[in-house]
């Protein structure tokens, strides 16, 4: 992420999530489940157990795509909640040292006070690169103003 002018701080609470990616995943999952179910019900040669198994597989695909659409980052007065695919972690502002989105990164990484780096999949430049950059800058500005980052007071 380049050094650009500091954005105005968004009003809290604020939720960052890859909206277009989420819309695509949920739409594809729903359509796929509907098609599999419709085809399964139209095939007369299938036994009831086979129909149930096909519909189960469609529901399983939908479930996986719903899980892939979960990521978000929620910032509020007391800190940040990072929801990734299978895990949710709550961070106090003081735990976030830096917010990074470098060219080629698949999502934002948070440098934490315990010396680790944590991915925040809720901000990812996949389909909407400019939005992800704006979101990353806003989260960085929040972390710098409220945490222990370089500009924190």
How many structural domains is the chain composed of?
2
- Whole-number pLDDT of residue 147: 74
Cα(134)–Cα(119) distance, integer angstroms:
17
Structural domain including 30 reads: 22-68
In this structure, are 63 and 96 located in the same domain? no
Reading the chain (153 residues) residue by residue, the pLDDT tens digits are 545 555 678 889 999 999 999 999 999 999 999 999 999 999 999 999 999 999 999 999 999 999 999 999 999 999 999 999 999 999 999 999 999 999 999 999 999 999 999 999 999 998 888 999 999 999 999 999 987 655 544
In this structure, are 99 and 77 located in the same domain? yes
In-domain check, residue 16: no
In this structure, are 90 and 128 located in the same domain? yes
Distances (CA, A) of 10 to 75, 88, 117, 134, 136: 10, 22, 24, 11, 12
Distances (CA, A) of 108 to 41, 99, 126: 43, 7, 11
The enclosing domain of 127 has a CATH number of 2.30.29
In-domain check, residue 129: yes
Query: At 15, phi and psi to the nearest 5?
Result: -115, 125
């Amino acid at each position: 992420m380049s050094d650009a002018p500091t954005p105005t701080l968004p009003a809290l609470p604020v939720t960052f999530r890859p909206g277009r990616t989420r819309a695509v995943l949920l739409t594809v999952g729903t359509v796929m489940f509907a098609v599999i179910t419709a085809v399964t019900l139209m095939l007369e040669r299938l036994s009831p157990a086979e129909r149930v198994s096909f519909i189960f597989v469609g529901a399983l695909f939908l479930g996986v795509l719903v899980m892939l659409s979960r990521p978000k980052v929620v910032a509020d007065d007391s800190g940040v909640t990072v929801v990734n695919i299978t895990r949710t972690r709550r961070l106090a502002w003081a735990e976030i040292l830096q917010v990074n989105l470098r060219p080629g990164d698949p999502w934002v990484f948070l440098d934490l006070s315990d010396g680790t780096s944590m991915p925040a999949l809720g901000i990812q430049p996949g389909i909407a690169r400019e939005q992800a950059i704006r979101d990353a800058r806003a989260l960085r500005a929040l972390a710098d103003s409220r945490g222990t980052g370089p500009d924190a007071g």
